[in-house]
Amino acid sequence: MSAAICWFRRDLRLTDNPALAAAARDGRAVIPVYIHAPAEAEGWAPGGASNWWLHHSLEALTAALAARGLPLVIRAGDSLLVLQALVEATGADAVHWNRLYDPAFIRRDMAIKQALRDQGVAAHSHNASLLNEPWTVQTGTGSDYKAFTPFWRACRRQGEPPEPEPAPTLPAASAGIRALPGASGLDEAGHEPLQALQLLPGVDWAASLRDRWIPGEAGAGEQLETFLNNDGLAHYATRRDQPAVAGTSRLSPHLHFGEIGPRQVWQAVQHRLAGDSDADSREGADRFLAEIGWREFAHHVLYHHPDFPEQPLNPRFADFPWQEDPDGALLTAWQRGETGIPLVDAGMRELYATGWMHNRVRMVVGSFLVKNLRLPWQAGEAWFWDTLVDADLASNSLGWQWVAGSGADAAPYFRIFNPVRQSERFDPRGDYIARWVPTLAALPPKHRHAPWEAPESVLADHGVTLGQHYPHPIVDLKASRQAALAAFEQIKKPAES
């Protein structure tokens, strides 16, 4: 029996998986493999939260394949060498995988495809993670888009995405294929134990992550159904900005690891709308699908500007006069949620506890770091990379350059979020603050947003002493805003002269 290798990467699902379907076509034996090669990410190896998620997602994939009579072959090492060894050991004549769009992986995959083909092995890549691949959406002049709205309009003009494919029938591998020879350290079937990848933290800080997330394809489906069944579309346009309520889908980590694909999300939304003529649902659906579009835009920008994660897209910002933080005290206070600005601290504590942060709050904490503290956006990007379960190179880079004012379709640098006004507007009672900064929960709601403005008598009556129970603000919001605008003027002048 001929065999084909399906190389899983960030497509950890069986449904709507083009590489898996292609490998299984014509009743071929399928050899599913996952290769752990963090060094091949060239400086962007997954952070701690991502590794925790990956471990549990691989567990779920292993179980799903085992239920169909197939083992997931797990190996660590150089991807090309591992694939070549598996080809030799199994006699496989084809390797299929789904494309990734991180610059390092594009280079790696092109080299692997050529090397396999040179030795007579069919090597094919497929699209499983995007509605429209980055090179398929162009302006009228054939260039890439720098602004989201025209990009998304161009995407919509390409029509509805293809229907997602069901999970393929997977013929069980033959005994000869199941027993793979390997080096010491592999189990009796030649598989690397998942635990050997050491993805889980040595110190168990992930208890709160386990309480809030179910990694894996089944968990992704449950999350989508929960969102849709709780009238998520009908209320999305308003609730999406309210951090104290469950108004967003929370699908981002599932999409990043490919436990669900955008075509599946798109189809589920359309099916829900087919039986719902409510205007709010249709408006919410448009807003929600535009978030899928924003994810597409992030990959579009990264593909066309591969240095985007490190360098500002607007070159003027390369000379921005960032503030000195020699002992790292400002950055540390921000990371720990100890800035004395309640909405910022609530967001940073939610991030550390759950590996996730509400999108509105992401913008606020990003603006505070880059503009009020005037620290480089790359520092925030690195912290999010390590602590977010949905850390995605394209989306993380786009978000940070957006808030910094230096990226594609970015917010103007002079747009500086006021965390107090944002909190008062989108969380009037301060419920989000009370949840994540419990010291302030005893205060009357109107004083939770800016406790330094509360009368001393109110603070005393509710057992809050600033500087003891909760920090004083590490920066004056008004003065730091003016300093940020003055700094921006310094990089504007050369371009205007």
286: its two tokens: 């448009």
- Global pTM reads 0.95
Q: Is 449 within a domain?
A: yes
- The verdict on 238 and 141 lying in the same domain is yes
Question: Do 5 and 137 sit in the same domain of this protein?
Answer: no
Span 211-227, average pLDDT: 97
Residue 377 bears catalytic tag: yes
Are 333 and 290 part of one and the same domain? Answer: no
pLDDT score, position 176:
42
Instruction: Based on the fold, state whether residues 371 and 381 are members of the same structural domain.
Output: yes
Residue 264 has pLDDT above 70, yes or no: yes
Candidate list 152, 356, 400, 436, residue with the active-site label: 400
Is position 356 annotated as part of the catalytic site?
A: no
Quote the pLDDT of residue 410: 82
The answer on pLDDT for 189 being more than 80 is no
Q: Is the pLDDT of residue 202 over 90?
A: no
267 & 347 share domain: no
> Which among 59, 133, 283, 291 is annotated as catalytic?
291
Indicate which residue of 7, 52, 152, 294 is catalytic.
Answer: 294
Q: How many CB atoms lie within 10 A of CB 409?
A: 18
DSSP symbols for 329-379: HHHHHHHHT-SS-HHHHHHHHHHHHHS---HHHHHHHHHIIIIIS---HHH
Average pLDDT over residues 385-396: 98
Instruction: Return the exposure string of 55-72: e unless at least 16 CB atoms fall within 10 Å of the residue's CB, then b.
Output: bbbbebbbebbeeeebbb
Q: How confident is the model at residue 339 (pLDDT cuts 50, 70, 90)?
A: very high
Q: pLDDT (tens digit, 9 = 90+) per residue, 346-379?
A: 999 999 999 999 999 999 999 999 999 999 999 9
Structure confidence at residue 496 (pLDDT) = 44
Domain containing 144 equals 129-164+217-304
pLDDT tens across 4-22, in order?
A: 999 999 999 999 999 999 9
Classify residue 183: in a domain, yes or no: no
User: Do 280 and 329 belong to one domain?
Assistant: no
3-state secondary structure of 36: strand
The answer, yes or no, to whether residue 422 has pLDDT greater than 70, is: yes
What mean pLDDT comes out for the span 474-486?
97
Asked whether residue 190 is domain-assigned, the answer is no
Q: Does residue 146 sit within a domain?
A: yes
> Is 182 a member of any domain?
no
pLDDT of residue 191: 63
**Number of separate domains in the chain:** 3
Is 434 in the same domain as 457?
Answer: yes
Q: Is the pLDDT of residue 497 over 50?
A: no
Instruction: Please indicate, yes or no, if residue 87 is contained in any of the structural domains.
Output: yes
Is 439 in contact with 469 (CB distance < 8 Å)? yes
Task: Please name the residue ranges forming H helices in 141-261.
Answer: 148-157, 175-178, 207-212, 217-229, 232-239, 252-256
38-78 residue pLDDT tens: 999 999 999 999 999 999 999 999 999 999 999 999 999 99
Q: Identity (one letter) of the amino acid at 411?
A: A
Specify the CATH number for the domain of residue 425.
1.10.579.10
Burial class, 84, CB count within 10 angstroms (exposed 0-12 / middle 13-18 / buried 19+): middle
Q: What is the CATH number of the domain that holds 29?
A: 3.40.50.620
- Which of these three, 304, 339, 371, is where a domain ends? 304
What per-residue confidence (pLDDT) applies to 1?
A: 61
End residue of a domain, out of 128, 156, 184: 128
- Looking at the fold, whether 370 and 466 belong to one and the same domain comes out as yes
| Catalytic residue list contains 334 | no
Residues 229 and 109 in one domain: no
Domain end, chosen from 304, 331, 361, is at 304
234 domain-assigned = yes
Residues with Cβ within 8 Å of 216's Cβ and at least 6 positions away in sequence, in order, are: 12, 56, 57, 59, 60, 61, 64, 259
Residues 245, 348: one domain? no
Mean pLDDT score of the chain: 93
Same domain, 9 and 155: no
Q: Is the pLDDT of residue 315 over 50?
A: yes
Contact 337, 438 (CB under 8 A): no
Position 336 scores a pLDDT of: 98
- Buried-state track 208-242, b at ≥16 Cβ within 10 A, e below 16: ebeeebbbbbebbbebbeebbeeebbbbbbebbbb
What strands, in cross-sheet order, belong to the sheet with 122-126? 73-76, 29-36, 3-8, 94-98, 122-126
Instruction: Evaluate if residue 477 carries a pLDDT over 80.
Output: yes
Q: Which two tokens stand for residue 414?
A: 């002079």
321 plus 266 within the same structural domain: no
List 152, 334, 377, 383, catalytic entry? 377
Query: Is residue 174, in this structure, part of any structural domain at all?
Result: no
Q: Output the domain CATH number for residue 142.
A: 1.25.40.80
**pLDDT attached to residue 414:** 85
135 is a catalytic site residue? no
* Identified catalytic residue from 59, 165, 322, 452: 322
Q: Which two tokens stand for residue 30?
A: 């399928």
- The reported pLDDT for the residue numbered 447 is 97
